[in-house]
Amino acid sequence: MATTMQGAFFLGPNEMALRDVPVPVPGPGEVLLRVGACAVCGTDLRILSGGKTRGVVPPRVLGHEIAATVVAHGDGAEAIPGVPVGTRVTLPPGITCGACRFCVIGLENHCTRREAFGYKYDGGFAEYMLVPAHAARRRILFRVPDTLPDAEASLAEPLACVVNGQRKSQVTVGDVVLVAGAGPIGLMHVQMSRLAGARAVIVSEPSAARREQALSMGATEAIDPTAHDVGDAIRARSGGYGADVAIAAIGVPGLVMDLLRWVRPGGRVNLFAGYAGAGEATISANLIHYGELIVTGTSACTSEDFRVALGLLSEGRIDASALVSHRFPLAAVHEAFDVTRRGAGLRVVVTP
Ligand SMILES: [Zn+2]
Ligand SMILES: [Zn+2]
């Protein structure tokens, strides 16, 4: 095995550089992974731009949407069941304590001692990465079946967040669902809503290319909100009643009021995407009050969401191949970030 490797290190706001460093040697209980694929997430862009560097102390390898192969065990780690050397794995980015109140009540994504790869620990934009002993002990490595390529397995994390959002939205058989935004996350919501039994999935998306993709992934209708009234389309599809569920898959504060207007009384609105800055939006509280609306948010995922997402990918129930639009070698990691920033593709995957 090589003794040196390349990694893309975040060095400070807007500064990331490829460096040659020694391949980490796994200490007691640690697991060494050879990274096969790491997808670029909006969070990586926010950390690099300096907008969200909380807890990220440079130099740090970013990247938390990872598929990899187990290549070495530190003393004792070989006893962890299910992950012998040679096993292909993926992992949820969060390492949770399992003991705080939120972990105990099933909200481990809010664990008060949560740590994460690409934040506190080096992530996936490198040839190799270490899984700390306490994380390996908590069985965060999930085996990937041979039929699922690394690039697609690396999408388990964003899909797990979508699973979380779908649970909150309670999409069920016969629903009319509105998905605002048809980026990779919106397209996952489209596919998941269809799987959950929605009879209509209406997508609102200004980009013609993305509207096409939404239709090919199961949307029943894709509307350009700059040219047509989305509310009219929803009413036409729902007998005038409004959507059962509306999901914001793009962080535009002005859209929140629209979603509240577009759902029926008792309808569910999920604010899935994050908002820049304080995320302030103007809404009519009466729409929630008189409409008896259920408004939820979604942030990250639990390991159970992750297990469900990986299962859906493994069984081919969610088409991840169409969501991977670009692949770059590690040497082109900056280009991978640029393509993601421009929104020029869907998920952009780096293959170290
Ligand atoms: Zn992510
Ligand atoms: Zn906890």
Distance 159 CA to ligand 1 centre (A): 9
Structure tokens at 318: 């969610």
Nearest ligand, CA 138: 2
Task: State the residue for tokens 């729409």.
Answer: 287
Q: What spacing in Å lies between the alpha carbon of 158 and ligand 1's midpoint? A: 5
Task: Give the residue numbers spanning the domain of 125.
Answer: 4-155+320-350
Pairing of the two strands 347-350 and 88-90 = unpaired
Are 159 and 307 in contact by the 8 Å Cβ rule? The answer is: no
Distance 350 CA to ligand 1 centre (A): 14
Identify the three-state secondary structure at position 36: strand
* Residue 306 located in a structural domain: no
My answer on whether 202 and 333 are in the same domain is: no
| pLDDT for the residue numbered 52 | 64
Task: Output the pLDDT for position 53.
Answer: 67
Residue 61: CB atoms within 10 Å? 23
C-alpha to C-alpha distance for 263 and 226, rounded to whole angstroms: 20
Cα(101) to centroid(ligand 2), Å: 7
Q: Is residue 303 part of a domain?
A: no
The residue length of the chain stands at 352
Q: Answer yes or no: do 41 and 127 share one domain.
A: yes
User: Do residue 249 and residue 112 come from a single domain?
Assistant: no
* Two tokens, residue 349: 């995957």
The CATH number that applies at residue 228 is 3.40.50.720
Q: Give the helix/strand (H/E) hosting 232.
A: helix 230-237
State pTM to two decimals.
Answer: 0.96
Q: Identify the pLDDT of residue 37.
A: 98
| CATH number of 78's domain | 3.90.180.10
- Helix (DSSP H) and strand (DSSP E) numbers for the chain: 12, 18
- Identify whether 196 is part of a domain: yes
CB-CB contact of 9 with 58 (8 Å): yes
Same domain for 20 and 138: yes
pLDDT at 51: 72
Q: How far is the CA of 324 from the centre of ligand 1 (A)?
A: 14
Cα 260 to Cα 88, 206, 284, 328: the distances in Å are: 43, 20, 8, 40
- Same domain (yes/no): 330, 206: no
Query: What pLDDT shows up at residue 276?
Result: 86
Cis peptide before 59 (omega within 30 of 0): yes
Residue 97 Cα to ligand 2 middle (Å)? 4
Does 22 reside within a domain?
A: yes
Smallest CA-to-CA distance from 129 within 110, 148, 154, 99 is with 154
Give residue 109 CA to ligand 2 midpoint distance, Å.
8
Q: Ligand 2 centre from 172 Cα, in Å?
A: 31
Q: How far is the CA of 60 from the centre of ligand 1 (A)?
A: 16
Radius of gyration over every alpha carbon of the chain, rounded to an integer in angstroms: 21
Say whether both 226 and 336 belong to one domain.
no
> What's the 87 CA to ligand 1 centre distance in angstroms?
23
Strand ranges across the sheet with 200-204: 221-223, 200-204, 176-180, 243-248, 263-271, 294-297
| Overall domain count for the chain | 2
> Is 305 contained in some domain?
no
Q: Which ligand is nearest to the CA of 162?
A: 1
Q: Give the residues of the chain that fall short of pLDDT 70.
A: 52-54
Q: Rounded to the nearest whole angstrom, what is the distance from the C-alpha of residue 158 to the centroid of ligand 2? A: 21
Ligand 1 centroid to residue 345 C-alpha, Å:
16
Same domain? 150 vs 177: no
Do 39 and 102 sit in the same domain of this protein?
yes
Cα 105 to averaged position of ligand 2 atoms, centre (Å)? 10
Find out whether 268 and 198 touch, Cβ atoms under 8 Å: no
Nearest ligand by distance to the CA of 109 = 2
The number of the ligand nearest the C-alpha atom of 134 reads: 2
Q: What letter does residue 322 receive in the DSSP assignment?
A: G
The answer on 145 and 281 residing in a single domain is no
Residues 42, 129, single domain; the answer is yes
Centre of ligand 1 to C-alpha 157, Å, is 6
Q: Say how many Å lie between the CA of residue 102 and the centre of ligand 2.
A: 6
Task: Single out the residue of 173, 167, 102, 174 nearest to residue 305, CA to CA.
Answer: 167
Residues 321 and 148: beta-carbon distance below 8 Å: no
Q: Is residue 54 part of a domain?
A: yes
CB atoms closer than 10 angstroms to residue 84: 10
Q: Cα(76)–Cα(254) distance, rounded to whole angstroms? A: 53
Q: Which residues contact 269 (CB under 8 A, 6 or more apart)?
A: 245, 246, 247, 248, 256, 259, 260, 263, 293, 294, 295, 296
What residues have their beta carbon closer than 5 A to ion ligand 1? 41
